[in-house]
Chain A
Amino acid sequence: MTRASRREMVGGSVDFDEVSVEDVSRHFGRRRAVSRVTFRAARGMIVGLLGPNGAGKSTLLAMLATVLRPSSGAIRYGSLDATAGPALRSRIGVLGHDLFLYPELTARENLAFFAGLYGIADSDACARAALERAQLDTRRDDPVASFSRGMRQRVALERALIHDPRLALLDEPFTGLDDASTEALLGRLKALRHGGAIVILATHDLDLAEGLLDTALFLRDGRNVETLSAPGGLRSTYRTVIGR
């Protein structure tokens, strides 16, 4: 499947070179989940959101995915904002903490369903190709309910990237993966960077993030307490700024 044919998508004409998060906050009642976070991510960058549980990483990803509105501040995708609606969503891929897969459907049916919703013309061929990339083509007609957590994670990653998104938002993408799958995912993320995607990922795995990230944002209690460009020594910085 060529990239051009994949892009024959619903509202798929928009594109952007940069995502900018400007002074964004999100409150749930009196609880402050994200507080005045600012950063930019350009094409070909992998940005890591690092921090303990409850630091606001998933909330920030949900706002970037346009499913959650910021209480204040603005998120811009090039010259667009979330009001661009379906056209913008066609350029965003999301791997959530929950995997967004139907356990009763087979891996192929799950991927073909989402490929269809992204407007990909030959959704079945696209799903088969994605399962080959995930090295799950021999299990393509098995229900996802019968898969291990790691296998489901691989299918979910393919679901998130099935439409060649410009912006890939990945929440804990390494969860449940064995060494070989982790290596494959690292390779995939580098390929996305090379292909000009903007990757923003939240992870607790500092060892894997080391050497992968172009920018690391350290979040604590919803605040961005440190930003490192071309970061090294993530663990020592984490201990210093997060302190847990």
Chain B
Amino acid sequence: MLRAIWLIVRKDLTVEVRSRELAYTTLFFAISCVLVFAFSLVQEGRAAEGVGAGVLWMTIMFAGNLALGRTFERERQSETLRALMLVPAPRPAVYLGKLTGIVLLLLLTEGVLVPLVALLFQAELLAHPFWLVSVVAMGTLGFAAVGTLFAAMLVRARSRDVLLPVLLYPITVPVIIAGVRGTMAIAQPDFEVAVVRFWFSLLVAFDVVFITLALWTFEPVMTD
């Protein structure tokens, strides 16, 4: 199972390094989003409290949706997702391989996004890097866990581009709320580790539930 996951992740990274399609489009879209929000929400060099955290997570949601759709569009073009369903590796390994690739891509995007948001919104996001990385990584994992399952399910649906956000956003709202609140708590001048730990624990709980459900349902939903 681990070998299959590794092979799928390596394949996705190789394809991405060759085409650079996902990284460029996701990054370009995310930066554009942050800039537009910055121009409208930052007045006289400062934004209202918590706006930076909200903008960060909204951008992660939008950019994540774009990345998920394109990742599975690649697998649809030559029906390679069907080929992955035919190999003797356990089907959850296919899910975990695709999930890992998407999480890595989103983390790369966030590596640019977080400093940009911190700079433009004068948010103290980088004051507690350990907690920031933990909260962002757990939130991204939860969002991508649900997104990977839905994007795979919808790969042959004609209106997949419309259906993916319609299904994905309502279900991942708890993750996004916990992400926003956790990030806000990190950026507070009077940083309270207990508050951050609470939101982080909530994110871990969401991730466990979402990944467990996805692993449980991936095989049946991918067999017509």
* Chain A residues at the B interface, C-beta cutoff of 8 Å: 9-12, 62, 65-69, 85-87, 89-90, 92, 94, 96, 98-105, 109, 113-114, 116-119, 143, 159
Contact = CB atoms under 8 A, between A and B. Distances in A.
Contacts of A86: 88-90
B112 interface: no
Nearest to B18: A104
A102 B82 CA distance: 12
A50 B89 CA distance: 32
B24 to A, nearest CB: 14
Those 6 A-B pairs whose CB atoms lie nearest each other, nearest first: A100-B83, A90-B88, A98-B79, A117-B87, A86-B88, A10-B88
Contacts of A9: 88
B90 A113 contact: no
A203 to B, nearest CB: 19
Contact of A105 (B11, B85, B90): B11
B223 A100 contact: no
Contacts of B78: 98-103
Contact of A67 (B7, B11, B86): B86
Given A101-B80, A105-B11, A116-B4, 17 more contacts: A9-B88, A66-B86, A66-B223, A67-B85, A68-B223, A86-B89, A87-B88, A90-B88, A96-B82, A100-B83, A103-B77, A104-B18, A105-B15, A113-B7, A114-B87, A116-B3, A117-B7
Nearest to B90: A86
A105 B88 contact: no
A94 B86 contact: yes
Contacts of B212: none
Interface string B1-23: 00110011001001100110000
Given A99-B78, A113-B11, A92 B86 contact: yes
A118 B87 CA distance: 6
A185 B84 CA distance: 24
A48 to B, nearest CB: 21
Contacts of A90: 88
B95 to A, nearest CB: 14
A67 B18 contact: no
Interface of B: 3-4, 7-8, 11, 14-15, 18-19, 74, 77-80, 82-90, 223-224
Contact of A100 (B19, B74, B79): B79
10 contacts: A9-B88, A10-B87, A67-B86, A69-B224, A86-B88, A86-B90, A94-B86, A100-B83, A102-B15, A143-B18
Contact of A65 (B7, B74, B86): B86
Nearest to B21: A104
Nearest to B86: A94
Contacts of B85: 67
A116 B15 contact: no
B20 to A, nearest CB: 10
A102 B80 contact: yes
A85 B14 CA distance: 29
A12 B88 contact: yes
A67 to B, nearest CB: 5
Contact of A119 (B15, B19, B80, B88): B88
B134 to A, nearest CB: 33
A137 to B, nearest CB: 21
Contacts of A89: 86-88
A224 B118 CA distance: 67
Contacts of B11: 102, 105, 109, 113
Contacts of A117: 4, 7-8, 84, 87-89
Contacts of B88: 9-12, 86-87, 89-90, 117-119
Nearest to B222: A67
Contacts of A114: 83, 87
Contacts of A96: 79, 82-83
